Every structure is written in C-alpha cells, then in structure tokens.
Amino acid sequence: MTALRKPGRRGIERLLVVALAAVALALLSGYLVTLLHLVLRGGKHLVAFSPDPVPLAGSEGERGMRMALAAMIFAALTWASLSLTRPLVARFAPAWESMSRVRLAIVALVALASALTLSDHLPPFLISLPSETQAGGGIGPQLFNTVYLAVLSTVVTFPIGLGTAIYLARLSRSRWLLRSARVALDTLASLPSIVYGLFGFLVFVVKMQAGYSLFAGACVLALLNLPLVVGIVEESLRNVPREIEEASHALGATRTQTILRVTLPYAWPGIVSAMVLSVGRVFAESAPLIMTAGTTIARANAYSLDPMRGGETLAVHLWYVGSAGLAPDRAEISAGTAAALVVLVLLTNLLAARIAEKRGKPGKRLRAAVR
C-alpha cells in the first residue's frame, strides 16, 4: 500500500538493489581479476619449455626430481583432457565410458614417456636452482620442498586426525573427554599461525636440537592442520546415516568392523577433501615455516629426502624475494613463484570441491552390485 501512495519509493528501492549488486559484483570480479592477473603475469615462466636440454646443477637426486616433475605435469594434463573429452567421445563410442582401465593406462604411459624424454626440456624456471644475486634463478628446490613438506605433514595429520575424529564422532563414552577435546581443538584453531611458529622454534628447533629442518616445519604444520582436519572428518562421519551402521551391526559385524568397512568408506570423500584442503594450507603457510624450516637452500642437498635438512618453500621464497631479494630480475621471479603458488592452491581447492561433491553418492562397488 505504501508503495502505491509514494511513487518515489520504488525508484529508491531499485537504486538500492543496484548499489548492492554493484558492491557484490565488484568484490567478486576484484578477486577473479586478481587471480587471472596472477596466473597471466607469471604464467609464462611455468610453460616456457626449453628446446635445448637444461644443464644439471649437480645436486643429489636432481635427475629423479626432474623425471618425477615431468611425469606429474604430463599425467595431470592427460588425465584432465581425458576427463574433459570423455562425454564427447562416449557419444560416438559408448564403450569408452566404462574403459577406465584403458584411460588409466594411457595416463601412465604418457607419464612414463614424458619422464624419459621431456625431463630435460621442462621450463628452466621450474627445475633450476634459485640465485641470490644473478638473474635467471629458478624455483626447483622450493617446489620440491613444498610438495615434500605437504607429504611429511600429511603423514602425521592423517592418522591422528582420523583417529581423533573417529573417537569424537563414534567411540567416546566420557562426556568430559569429549568436551575437553573440543575445547582443545577450538583453542588450536583460534591461534594465529605466528604462535605456532614460535612454539615450533622453541620445541623442535631449540629443545629437540633438530635445527631449522623440514621435520620441524612438518610437525608444526601437522599441528596447525589438526583442528581443520578433525572438524571436517568428524562432520562427515556424523553425516553417515545411522541406518547403514545399524544394518551392519545387525549382520553381526563388530563395532570396529562397522567403522572400518561401513562408516569410513561412506565418509571417504569428506575425509579425502579434508586432507586435500590441509595440503593446500601447507602450500600457503609461510610465517611458521620461516621460524622452523628456515629460509635457505643448500646447493648440495637441494633435492635430498632427508627430513632433517632445512629448506624454504614456495611461499617463503616469495616473501624473501619480494621483500629482501637482490637479484636484478626479482620482480619476474616473484611473479613466477606467485603464479606457481596460485596454480597449486587452485588445483587443491578445485580437487577438494570435486571430491566433496561425491559425498553421499553410491560408490563403484555399490553401482556394480545394483547393476
């Protein structure tokens, strides 16, 4: 009624809606443009394959690392293009849809072939050592350290996070313990990451005399990720329908059997996406790593698997080069490092979202059984 009596009101309202939309779209497009800018600005360093073989720098394990990187890049590309074209090909050859083994074999073959032939022609930026003062430094060791640190910290986070989540969601009988575990995890989740860095420095670097090492960094990151992982895993365990667990009990399965064979497989997508998200956080974290894993790369053991050596990750490298670097091409190095980081974080996020979408849908075995 008021709208009828005051004709001006409608116009104002429409104006307000438009203003709101403008704010929201500005926010959205701002972040999207930022992402695009980051990828385009430094992306050329990530795809500049070199026609001539890149000389080895003489670090231990360098050749293996190159082959692994080539295999990973081309396997991922093949897999992505196969899954993108799958619906299209299946329209002409319906059998293609069910030939997942063949697709896997193609991916494996491409990985093997590219590791053998292309490993010396990868973009030099991705496989060469960083340089403190001269132009042309790369991020090979940083890339390796980032991935290796993610593996190390996941090895710690996965079992402990899974166990804690199972205990909290299904096994705990004491309410007191349940509540204190929740308070503990909430506290851990609320700490600024710099506090983790101080703790890691004091405990692992100084008290345990591990020095600046990947081991110390991995332990700190595992602790940092624990609340996130437990939170997501517990939620996905709680979302498992009671009926299917009761059905398992009714068939005579023990509690352990039910959890291992019914609850966990059902909640598996949630568990995996929690792990992928925690890996993304390992890629992104910098402050705690500066204080535990250090900011240096040693030429001799740049690619060594020894967890007791120190080493910087991509994020730390970006901070160091961006704020204190001396190389003449530091702007380009920063741009390339930032692009590599953004690509890694984008991949982990999209992967986690894709896996999480499978939540609650029947898996391969069930589909086969029903058919």
Partner 1 sequence: MVSQPIEALLVLRRPRPIAVRRLRPGDVAFRGLAWLCGIFAIGAALFLLAFLAHAGIRGLIHAGPQLLTGLRWKPEAGAFGGVPLLVGTVTSALGATVLGALPATLAAVWVTELAPKGAQKLFRRAMEIATALPSVVYGWLALEHLVPEVDGVAKLFFAMRPDVGGEGLLTSAILLAVMIAPTVTLLSLDAIGRVPPAMREASAALGATKLQTAFRVIVPHAKSGLVIATFFGFARAAGETMAVQMVIGGARQLPETLFSPTTTISTQIVMDMQNARPGTPESDVLYAMALVLLVFSSAVVLTTKAVARRGIA
Residues 324-363, interacting with partner 1 (CB under 8 A):
331, 334, 338, 341-342, 345-346, 348-349, 353
Which residues from 141-170 bind partner 1, rule CB under 8 A?
A: 159-164, 166-168
Nearer residue to partner 1 within complex by CB, 238 or 255: 255
Nearer residue to partner 1 within complex by CB, 122 or 291: 291
- Structure-block tokens of residue 132: 């403190």
**The binder of partner 1 chosen from 125, 212, 215, 283 (CB under 8 A):** 283
* Alpha-carbon span 318 to 146, nearest angstrom: 12
Query: Residue 61's Cα: distance from chain center in Å?
Result: 24
CB of 65 to partner 1, least distance (A): 23
* Alpha-carbon span 22 to 16, nearest angstrom: 10
- Structure-block tokens of residue 310: 């120190």
Q: Tell me which residue of 361, 335, 346, 313 sits closest to 43, measured CA to CA.
A: 335
CB of 361 to partner 1, least distance (A): 18
- Other Cβ atoms less than 10 A from the Cβ of 239: the count is 13
Asked if 74 interacts with partner 1 (CB under 8 A), we say no
Q: ∠ at Cα 171 (218, 269), nearest 5°?
A: 55
Asked if 38 interacts with partner 1 (CB under 8 A), we say yes
Nearer residue to partner 1 within complex by CB, 67 or 267: 267
* Alpha-carbon span 178 to 188, nearest angstrom: 15
Which residues from 201-230 bind partner 1, rule CB under 8 A?
A: 201-203, 206, 223, 226, 230
Asked if 255 interacts with partner 1 (CB under 8 A), we say yes
**The binder of partner 1 chosen from 27, 102, 135, 244 (CB under 8 A):** 27
**Judging by beta carbons within 10 Å of its beta carbon (0-12, 13-18, 19+), is residue 1 exposed, middle or buried?**
exposed
